[in-house]
Amino acid sequence: MKTIASIVMLSTMLYTASAQTASIYDFKVKTLYGEDFDLSQLKGEKVLIVNTASKCGFTPQYSELQALYEKYGGDNFTIIGFPANNFLNQEPGTNEEIETFCRLNYGVTFPMMEKISVKGDDIHPLYSYLTRKSQNGILDAPVSWNFQKFMIDENGHVTGYAKPSTKPLSEEIVNWITGE
């Protein structure tokens, strides 16, 4: 009986340790242009990961995201957008159409990745990690709508998230970036 309890306890400790050591650096994604993007290249940077959509009431947040990127982006901070069509068909476009929309309407220069699913049976593995405490070791934060923002520290770990209605230039996000 002690052996079984020891095995269960050891398994639990190993699982917990592996969840806490996982990071976004374990993932590779594709850009809107179909190029590989290894998230490990972001080591040492804070990263704001945002699921986006072109036909949403929150779509104007692209302007603030771009302003945030222009002000703080560089070696220590970046934003990554992930278009997703999970909410009321608000991102129906192709990757090419999304790129054109973002560039022409909002001047987006921060990295945009290919369209993915951020919830459901076909959830992208990165978003599975971001939204599940069992994987990120920190919190459960299922995506509730477009423009939910995940805050990732310099070590690639989730530190928190901001609701879709939270504006990118909010005090909460700016203070997280600046460390205030």
Residue 106: how many CA atoms within 13 Å on its side-chain side?
Answer: 24
Q: Provide the pLDDT for residue 166.
A: 98
Residue 52 dihedral angles phi and psi, to the nearest 5°:
-120, 165
Q: Which residue has the higher pLDDT, 91 or 21?
A: 91
Q: Provide the pLDDT for residue 178.
A: 95
Structural domain span for residue 55? 23-178
Question: 135: which 2 tokens?
Answer: 């994987």
Residue 138 dihedral angles phi and psi, to the nearest 5°:
-120, -55
Is 56 catalytic? The answer is: yes
How far is residue 7's CA from residue 156's CA, in Å, rounded to a whole number? 30
Tell me how many domains the chain contains. 1
Contact 136, 19 (CB under 8 A): yes
Tell me the one-letter amino acid at 36.
D
pLDDT digits (tens, 9 = 90+) for 22-43: 999 999 999 999 999 999 999 9
Beta-sheet strands, E only, within 11-135:
28-30, 36-38, 46-52, 77-83
pLDDT digits (tens, 9 = 90+) for 129-156: 999 999 999 999 999 999 999 999 999 9
Is 125 part of a structural domain of the chain? yes
Is 83 part of a structural domain of the chain? yes
Catalytic residue among 26, 37, 45, 56: 56
How far is residue 18's CA from residue 15's CA, in Å, rounded to a whole number? 5
User: For the domain that residue 150 is a member of, what is the CATH number?
Assistant: 3.40.30.10
Choice among 4-13, 61-70, 132-141, 158-167 with the minimum mean pLDDT: 4-13
